């Protein structure tokens, strides 16, 4: 089961995500492509400061936008993370036995 945590700041703005575990073939590939594209897009298309952590063997990928966590706007990067969250939710709805999405508010 792939577990995805979408992180939001106190104002409800998406500011990061964590992806845990490997899933079944095509579902794992879809989630991996979506997550890696989000990281690459934030890095390439924005000037936003970000923190990325990954462990390929464990199937872990994390992206944090510390300025948004603190309440700053960074609309371009936030839009990219909202797009990731939307795609993750759609995959989870299509494959509920393989993917679970959870939302957490950080303080």
CATH architecture of 2-105: 2-Layer Sandwich (3.30)
Pair of tokens at residue 1:
């089961």
Decide if 82 contacts 10 (C-beta within 8 A). no
- Containing 90, the helix (H) or strand (E) segment is helix 75-94
53 contacts 60 by C-beta, under 8 angstroms:
yes
Q: Look at residues 10, 18, 9 and name the one whose alpha carbon lies nearest to residue 101.
A: 18
Question: What pLDDT was estimated at residue 107?
Answer: 76
Element holding 99 (H helix, E strand): strand 99-105
Q: What string of pLDDT tens digits covers the 107 residues of the chain?
A: 999 999 999 999 999 999 998 777 899 999 999 999 999 999 999 999 999 999 988 889 999 999 888 888 878 899 999 999 999 999 999 999 999 999 999 97
Going from N- to C-terminal start, the domains of the chain cover 2-105
């Amino acid at each position: 089961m792939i577990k995805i945590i979408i992180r939001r700041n106190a104002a409800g703005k998406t500011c990061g995500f964590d992806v845990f575990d490997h899933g079944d073939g095509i579902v794992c590939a879809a989630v991996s492509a979506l997550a890696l594209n989000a990281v690459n897009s934030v890095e390439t298309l924005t000037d936003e400061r970000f923190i990325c952590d990954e462990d390929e063997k464990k199937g872990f990928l994390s992206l944090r936008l510390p300025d948004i966590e603190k309440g700053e706007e960074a609309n371009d990067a936030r839009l990219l993370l909202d797009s990731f969250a939307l795609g993750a939710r759609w995959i989870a709805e299509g494959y509920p036995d393989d993917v679970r999405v959870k939302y957490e508010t950080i303080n």
